Amino acid sequence: MRLSLRFILPLGIALAAIAYAVVPLVDRLALQWFVRDLDDRSAIIARGLNERLVELLRDPAGGSIVGLFERTVRQERVFAIGLCTPQGTLAYASSRFPSQVDCARALALTDDHMVALAEGPLHVEVTPVKSGSARLGSLVVMHDMSFVERRSDESRMYIVYLFAGIVAVVALITVIIAELSWRGWVAGFKALLSGAGSTREDGTTRVPELRPIEADLKALVRDLETERSTRDDSHTVWAPEALRRILREDLKGDEILIVSNREPYLHVRREGNVIDIQRPASGLVTALEPVMRACSGTWIAHGAGSADRDAVDQYDRVMVPPDKPAYRIRRVWLSKEEEQGYYYGFANEGLWPLCHIAHARPVFRAEDWEQYKAVNRRFADVVVDEARSEDPIVLVQDYHFALAPRMIRERLPLATIITFWHIPWPNPEVFGILPWREEVLEGMLGSSILGFHTQFHCNNFFDTVDRLLEARVDRETFTISYGGEPTEVRRYPISIEWPPAALVNQPPVEDCRRRVRERLNLPADALLGVGVDRLDYTKGILERFLAVEHLLETKPQWLGRYSFLQIAAPSRSSLDEYQNLEHRVRAAAQRINGRFGRPGYQPILLLLEHHTAEQVYEIYRAAELCYVSSLHDGMNLVAKEFVAAREDEQGVLLLSQFTGAARELVEALIVNPYDIQQCAAAMDVALSMHPEEQRARMRAMRHLVQEFNVYRWAGRMLIDAARMRHRRRVLSRVRSTRLAPTGTQG
């Protein structure tokens, strides 16, 4: 009944409003009709009296004009009649002729011929009395119009009854249709949820309206069932054990191989021939390393550390993590020429700026493309070498290996290849700049599953393939068919592990605040903002500094009280674009510090050096705000790391609208990093925000990061891989059964 009222009440209100608007219109139309009728009636009366009046005026002894008028006014609604002389004076009139209406006033009426008197409204019509061409006077005929008001009242009442009847009939029909439709939808949903589908056994459709969303509903049910079956028994969120359970139960222990350019651990030689182990500043490593610790397997990556060769065995493998080995790294060695062409050249001077709208022009060189193809082939060969079965699960990571999926597919046709693109995907017009666009798309479509952070990026990829390749793009099932098995294109928002390993040995927040401020030579009550990035032009570091500068210009109360700490790990420093960026970042920090700094105070604290995860999390916990100002980003895990670090539920996140994280962490202060004034104002709001509001915002974001953590991200991909592998095996058995030879009858 409540559902029906949602239709009936708006309908009743709408019809009542229509009736309210219609009544004045009906009154005006009715008045016009009555006036027209009275005009005609007055003309008829005048024509009937004209001849008799002419006779009486010529021979007054022949009869009484007043008597004629008195007899005439006995007709229905005729109120009074009078005769005006040609000079405009009243010569004769019936007894009720109102004194307020003289001949001059009657003759002056030209529009609606209406006169309002105390007795009521009168209709006045003036008609000339003629004898041939001679005008003897003017006949004034007055009609009583009080009946019009009575008729208007009756019309209003009838309109109200009419609309009330319409409301009742439509409401009844609406209730009946809504009830029947609701029952049909419920039955259809029950059928879908039970797995019966939208069609009956005889082929007829249960609920036609549900057919377009049948696949989505089934996927939702499958996800809900997966959620129930994969949650850790002792927790309410995804955990490493959930991934192990998927491998054990859904994937039957199938091996997993990860292919990425960056390795999760580097062995670096220091002074005194000491070998240190580092984790690189990489969102990809942050996301995938916990997955590999949970699932084991092999991580195939470029060995870039100065002591990497000394740490591997004869097969170029090393077990990690060093303190508790759980999986192995297979390192691939690249020459300087290969690294320059494949990594610095095509990948980071070509694809990186192409996919990031950050106003850096992509550079494409044929020799870089050749190196890119060769390195992709090298990694595909290593995957085949490392695979212990003919159908492994291969997770290909990022834009460095756009060609590898097709190359692996050619060697391992039964492999389940999941390619995840960690950076944005541009629209077709932008991607069309790439000279080898068809080859890149063909390589990526060798994947079984192709993942992006956001649906927006998935849609851009669909549009790009639709525009540039002769492929069948099915947006309803999210698949693209090109040269073999279909590729599913899915949205998998990446996240971080929960709880982060870097938080395990962290001191309380107050201790972190004290230690960080002592290390930075800041007063104990100083307010601290933090930015943590690779030194990259897509991260908006210069725009971030300009926002701090504008804040100190417009809000001088923060001078001496607020400092912004920028941690920027050097990256791709051999490229001119990155060298120029480092110079500009240093210059901007020096200029702002020279303008607003004073002894014992610097508004910008710039650290262009590598920090461990534990050091970064300590700084997160010590800061009042974290500012992520990416000009374009796939997801950006710094935002989620900051949220995860704050179990005190304090601190404010300023987040660029051009990050994938902005679609999830909506309680952050979402800003346009190009709008310096807006960003400075948001920083002011963050520094002034009441602790209770900080707590409400941070609590909501922490709940989301906890629920949608990296194990869930990886688990959903592995579940989709398990579903795909199961379907393929079933179809293979069906085909084998059909092709099996049948016995002959004797």
The highest-level CATH class for domain 252-491 is alpha beta
Asked if domains 2-152 and 252-491 share a fold, the reply is no
At residue 246's C-alpha, the angle toward residues 243 and 249, to 5°, is 145
b or e along 690-701 (b: 16 or more beta carbons within 10 Å of the residue's beta carbon)? eeeebeebbeeb
- Stated as kind and residue range, the H or E segment containing 144 is strand 134-144
Other CB atoms within 10 Å distance of the CB of residue 484 = 11
What single string gives the DSSP state of each residue in 416-479? Answer: EEEEE--S----HHHHTT-TTHHHHHHHHTT-SEEEESSHHHHHHHHHHHHHHS--EEETTTTE
* Angle, vertex CA 718, rays to CA 712 and CA 721, nearest 5: 145
- The alpha helices in 194-257, defined as continuous H runs, are 214-230, 240-245
What is the rounded distance in angstroms from the CA atom of residue 361 to the CA atom of residue 349? 8
What pLDDT digit, counting tens, does each position of 283-317 carry?
Answer: 678 778 877 888 888 999 999 899 999 999 999 99
Give the three-state DSSP class for 610.
Answer: coil
Distance CA 104, CA 93 (A): 15
CA-based R_g, the chain, Å: 43
Q: Give pairs for 321-329: CB < 8 Å, separation 24+.
A: 321/265, 321/293, 322/265, 322/277, 326/292, 326/293, 326/296, 327/292, 327/293, 327/295, 327/296, 327/297, 327/298, 327/299, 328/298, 328/299, 329/263, 329/264, 329/265, 329/298, 329/299, 329/300, 329/301
Torsion sign (Cα): 252, 255, 261, 264: positive
**Any alpha helices (H) in 529-575, and if so which ranges?**
541-554
Cα–Cα distance measured from residue 531 to residue 694, given in angstroms and rounded to the nearest whole number: 19
How far CA 292 is from CA of 266, 401, 603, in Å, comes to 16, 19, 41
Phi and psi at 351, nearest 5°, equal -65, -40
Eight-class DSSP state of 603: S
How far apart are alpha carbons 99 and 118 in whole angstroms? 12
What fold characterizes domain 501-708? Rossmann fold (3.40.50)
Please give the Cα distance from 548 to 617 (Å, whole number): 22
Q: Locate tokens 């307010």: which residue?
A: 527
Can you count the helices (H) and strands (E) in the chain? 23, 23
Question: Which pairing describes strands 625-628 and 604-607: parallel, antiparallel, or unpaired?
Answer: unpaired
Q: Is 573 helix (H, G, I), strand (E, B) or coil?
A: coil
CATH number of the 2-152 domain: 3.30.450.20
Give the Cα separation of 208 and 217 in Å (integer).
14
The predicted pLDDT at position 390 comes to 92
Q: Cα–Cα distance between 256 and 718 in angstroms, integer? A: 10
Cis bond before residue 486 (omega within 30° of 0): no
**What is the predicted pLDDT for the residue at 669?**
98
Residue ranges of the domains in the chain?
Answer: 2-152, 252-491, 501-708
CB 320 within 8 A of CB 280: no
47's tokens: 């024509």
Using CA atoms, how far apart are residues 123 and 35, in angstroms rounded to an integer?
8
Q: Which pLDDT value is given to residue 98?
A: 87
| Cβ 421 vs Cβ 457: under 8 Å | yes
Q: Is the peptide bond before 264 cis (omega within 30 degrees of 0)?
A: no
Whole-number Å distance between alpha carbons of 322 and 319? 7
User: Distance (Å, rounded) from C-alpha 681 to C-alpha 365?
Assistant: 43
Helix (H) or strand (E) holding 268: strand 266-270
* Positions of the chain with pLDDT under 70: 1-8, 60-63, 110-112, 184-185, 188-236, 281-283, 738-746
The DSSP annotation for 285-337 comes to HHHHHHHHHHH--EEEEE--STTHHHHS-TTSEEEESSSS--EEEEEE---HH
| Cα–Cα–Cα angle for 465, 470, 472, rounded to 5 degrees | 75
- What string of H, E and C letters represents the secondary structure of 709-737? CHHHHHHHHHHHHHHHHHHHHHHHHHHHH
Contacts of 216 (CB under 8 A, 6+ apart): none
Q: How far is CA 287 from the centre of its chain?
A: 24
Residue 653 pairs in a beta bridge with 626
The sign of the dihedral angle between the CA atoms of 101, 102, 103, 108 is negative
| Distance of alpha carbon 629 from alpha carbon 543, whole angstroms | 8
Distance of CA 260 to CAs 264, 393, 487, Å? 9, 14, 20
Cβ atoms of residues 91 and 114 within 8 Å: no
DSSP state of 71: H
Q: Look at residue 234 in the predicted model and tell me its pLDDT.
A: 45
In one-letter notation, the amino acid at residue 640 is K
